[in-house]
Structure 1
């Protein structure tokens, strides 16, 4: 994980593998800031949707026993949302570098769409 100081607050950038490990251990709250349409097509199981178009950092819990990690499709929107969290008073926030693209590239499991039925389907891919 990389850390960056922004006005006395900490922005962490996690890899997909670090997020997967922490998610499996239930150490983090993973928030997906992509659109509902993107989330419906594919998402990381256990992630909570909070679309960037309506994202309000003040609605996130500042005091929680789990670290908050944000993610999107490529890491751009999640970094913007993370900076908004720091501006809203969070002392530390994290986002996933490379987003959903990095997650898939890493061969990590996700919930996708079964193209034959349109139903959600657990996808287990390997790099």
Structure 2
């Protein structure tokens, strides 16, 4: 059995460790795509060399209009949400102020009620 294993190269020859990433990805190609926009958006990906050009061309966005429209929608939603948060905090502060005034008025009326009770006894 040992004689048979010695004949197999993977059991006898030690391979040096890999030191370069290119050794691991030698059969791939790096493709960078400028998707345009303001600021510009770049996408980088790795494909095997056997990847057809049609697959790569499908990845390119033919029009940035959808992306821009979605970005504008999200920005307007963000602005609306921020405005609602500010208005909500202002309403909360106003309600807390009214609560303090109401509590002070209740305390004042209690004192007056106690004073009236004391006079009646």
Shorter-chain TM-score tier: under 0.3
**TM-score after normalising by structure 2:** 0.19
Largest Rg, 1 or 2: 2
Greater share of residues in helix: 2
Higher relative contact order (CA 8 A, sep 6+): 1
